[in-house]
Amino acid sequence: MQRFDVLVVGGRCAGAAAAMLMARRGLRVLAVDRGGYGTDTLSTHALMRGAVMLLHRWGVLPRLIEAGTPPIRRTTFHYGTEAVAVDLRPGDGVDALIAPRRTLLDSVLVDAAWEAGAELRHHHSVTGLLRDAGGRVTGAMVVDEAGQEYAVAAGLVVGADGVGSTVARLAGAPVMETARHAAAVVYGYWPGLADTGTHWHYGIGASAGRIPTNAGRHCVFASVSADHARVEMRGNRLHAMHRILREVSPSLAEEVAASAPDDALVAFAGRRGFLRQAAGPGWALIGDAGYFKDPITAHGITDALRDAALLAEAATEGTDAAFARFAARRDDLSLPLFRVTDEIASYRWTLEEAKAMHLALNTAMKREVAALAAEPVP
């Protein structure tokens, strides 16, 4: 039987970051992922201040910049015809935000994990968990790309395998809180748009935006509540996007209509968020496996990197008390973000109420950044 200190299930953003950080702390880490290296995935792309700060502290931010990820120093919130521009305040090693394509971000983190000494195996899937006589998780059964099954013993099994997490299901991780609302979104990548930072547009019952990303493209999205998605996004996705853009921001609609997206648009029908128990005997969850909230606030990647950092600290200590502290900190930092995001995803607000929600969101994010800034540098 193969033996490691930590088995990470999921080798994308959260999993790769956790594998890197734990390996840097001297733990023997194996990460397995059912997908391939550098493949794409659904994503909002935008990294909040906390995420960029962590990437800087981990020494991987320069790789993303060198790959041509554009700096974002201004974010503009549009409430109907009112525009509120916010310029980034430099600090904590952050002089700009970024929104890299996931093909780039995930591969950079995987490379950094390899360099730290972690082992990563793509196209491998977990089929079961191993337990001792007391029920504590002690490893997992894994199937490789040829269909051969093998056992891995590990002191900790980490589920970083997304909203439908196999680890969460097999561990019996209970859901502690469930969101009431969900939003649907359609997005694509447009060339030729002027880079004036990130723009978030809000109208009654809908929102839209543009986020500068790699290769001179903008990720352009349009969103409505999941309840209205069947009407607003029926038929041709591109036509539906243009229709929503015209309602929310005629100026953005005009600019987007002047060119065409690179490929077919991506649609997400919406899913209610949840907060699962973060850790149990021999297992832990990070990223969307443990905590998923609506993508309308574009905070998912930041959550994933944050929880990878907090879990790596607990894994280094390796005690049940350390994992309990990890779970408590995850919940404490997550719940304010989770709850205000759920209200925004409802689309049952006026523009003035939307402003107030964004102020509450900003307060929760500042608290999160302060907590992360106090963490030791790995």
User: 23-70, pLDDT tens digit by residue?
Assistant: 999 999 999 999 999 898 988 899 999 999 999 999 999 999 999 999
Burial 159-196 (b: 16+ CB within 10 A, else e): bbbbbebbbbebbebeeeeebebbbbbbbbbbeebeee
What CATH number does the domain containing 108 carry? 3.50.50.60
On whether both 285 and 369 belong to a single domain, the answer is yes
- Among 105-114, 228-237, 256-265, the range scoring the smallest mean pLDDT is 228-237
Q: At 346, give phi and psi (nearest 5°).
A: -70, -25
On whether both 19 and 127 belong to a single domain, the answer is yes
Give the number of domains in the chain.
2
Determine, yes or no, domain membership for 217: yes
Q: Average pLDDT over the chain, rounded to whole?
A: 95
Of all residues in the chain, the percent with pLDDT exceeding 70 is 98
Q: At 27, give phi and psi (nearest 5°).
A: -85, 145
Q: From CA 274, how far away is CA 378, in angstroms rounded?
A: 30
125 pairs with which residues across the strands?
Answer: 143
pLDDT above 80 (res 235): no
Write down which residue in 215, 239, 268 finishes a domain: 268
Confidence at residue 227, expressed as pLDDT on a 0 to 100 scale: 77
Write down which residue in 250, 268, 286 finishes a domain: 268
pLDDT tens by residue, 63-112: 999 999 999 999 999 999 999 999 999 998 899 999 999 999 999 999 99
Confidence at residue 232, expressed as pLDDT on a 0 to 100 scale: 67
Residue type, 331: D
Q: From CA 167, how far away is CA 109, in angstroms rounded?
A: 21
On whether both 229 and 309 belong to a single domain, the answer is no
Q: What is the mean pLDDT of residues 114-125?
A: 98
pLDDT above 80 (res 234): no
pLDDT above 90 (res 156): yes
pLDDT tens by residue, 278-292: 999 999 999 999 999
Exposed / middle / buried, residue 318 (Cβ in 10 Å: 0-12, 13-18, 19+):
middle
On whether both 144 and 264 belong to a single domain, the answer is no
| Residues of the domain holding 134 | 2-70+96-179+271-373
Write down which residue in 268, 284, 300 finishes a domain: 268
On whether both 260 and 316 belong to a single domain, the answer is no
Q: At 7, give phi and psi (nearest 5°).
A: -110, 115
On whether both 106 and 208 belong to a single domain, the answer is no
pLDDT tens by residue, 325-375: 999 999 999 999 999 999 999 999 999 999 999 999 999 999 999 999 988
Determine, yes or no, domain membership for 77: no
